[in-house]
Structure 1
Amino acid sequence: MHWLRGIRIKNIMIIILGTLIFGFGIIHFNLQNGLAHGGFTGITLLLYYLFTIEPSITNLVLNIPLFLIGYRLLGRKVFIYSLIGTISLSVSLSIFETYPVANIPLQDDMILVSLFAGVFSGVGLGLVFRTGGTTGGADILARLSNKYFGTTLGQFMFTFDAIVITTSLIRLSLTQAMYTLITVFVASRVIDFMIEGASAAKSAMIVTNHSDELSSEIRRRMSRGSTVLTGKGSYTHDEREILYCVVNRNELIHLKTVIQDVDPYAFFSVNDVKEVSGEGFTFDRNRDPFHT
């Protein structure tokens, strides 16, 4: 079918898993301990506290207008994944509302509640976002903001969530709102972590007068390649060769040792690399049938 072209079963399963994790956290940490949340989920919780309307129902009702916007601006795939995510989240909330897996009343340790609520929300939403989907509501708005304004999903979610939490003060105490703010902050960081990954590697920019010898030693002693860039000193105007090298985090000390042994006067800087792929990281050249 044309509508389902490019839709992967694996992504659907990840979305379902993500919404189950998210739904578990909302019911077992937020709802059971009187916390709100950000985004449309926060609105559904506020409506529950005020009028006892089940979040699983309001989640669907509030998202209907946004699906039209999401389809027109984000395209067919995101629309389908978002539809699946929203329905799956409502089902997950309904399941955990009716059949809670555990009773976790931790009102005596609200910091722990806030942290766990944030982690479950961040991991769940992060899994959904990684597939290209959303759970509707603020998630769709976050993707639109990322597409047109370049904000990260976590940044937008935190800002939107702060607005919702401020509004929730009509029902929550100031203390509850502050704990909720901790929750959404943790969730926003976990979302970015899930999407961008951990600091997978380190990159080094090395300015040296012994580039040939240093690159040879890096290759011999670490089995790592490097790229030679050409630069010019701003003070001396001398031409310099700069080595760019990417290594795993646990190889950084080894790299520093190699640099120190070859050129103790070399200038180098080290930066985090959020994602890295290619030879030496995501495949082994010795196992590559196309490598000659």
Structure 2
Amino acid sequence: MTGINLLILIALSAIWGGSFLLLRIGVPQFGPVALIESRLALAALFLGIMALVVGRKLQWRSRWRHYLLLGGINSALPFLLLAFSAQTLSASLMSILNATTPIWGAVLAAVWGRTPLTGTTGLGLILGTVGVAILVGFDAITMTPGAPLAIAASLSASLSYAVASMYARSRTQIEPFDNAHGSLWGATLLVLPLALMLPPPSMPQPSMWGAAITLGVLCTGIAYLMYFRLVKEVGAAPALTVTFLVPVFGVLWGHWLLDEVLGLHTLAGSALVICGTALVTGFSPRSLFQKRIRH
């Protein structure tokens, strides 16, 4: 991995970690549905402009069912679940729970794909589960009304991402950029009826639109382009190491900008989740650089 790609990896982690902060800021004024519709529409428009610039056609007529399905399970559903959770949970807790996506992926691969669990994968699942239990069991926010449902929604969002990843892998003939572009339009269309029924509770302040635009353009549109570059340059497995760094930035942004409490249980729980995810994915820091040296 080159120095530039490493910087992109860190920047992408910081951006995606910041998305949980923006959810916490934007949801109170926009409401969960309106904020997510804005995020999806702005991201779709941004990637639409990029597609025009590079001359990529979406092929909507032949792939509209695929884009709607992928958009539903990869963007619309998990984004709405996380926005719902942001009404109750801290940005730190949401970012850590989101790191369980590869763990859910291993479970789905064993159940759905009939891939046997190895000892290392099993240990990773145990560590990840214990980490979530520590976060949930010792975090004071879990005592607030609606917290159990919000935690379940965050974990369900991670499960939805894992399902979407398995589905996308079965459609390898479609380019990653096309999947992102088409699925964002599909997700925008799916959420639109709900957004019309559930408008913002009040007119958002002008400053809040900055949060919505940043969430849509930077945290979704530009972040997708950065991620696709990493996948192309270093491969899918090294690019997925962003999963380990996002909670780090999510916790830092939440603590620094929202004064969220950073307790010992937060550090212990997040460490176990990250270690469990690393074991499940077979991640080794040395592999990031060995691959580059061999080439």
Regarding TM over 0.5, the answer is: no
Query: Greater strand percent: which structure?
Result: 1
Q: Please report the TM-score for the alignment, with normalisation by the length of structure 1.
A: 0.34
Structure scoring higher RCO (CA < 8 A, sep ≥ 6) equals: 2
Query: Greater helix percent: which structure?
Result: 2
Q: Please report the TM-score for the alignment, with normalisation by the length of structure 2.
A: 0.34
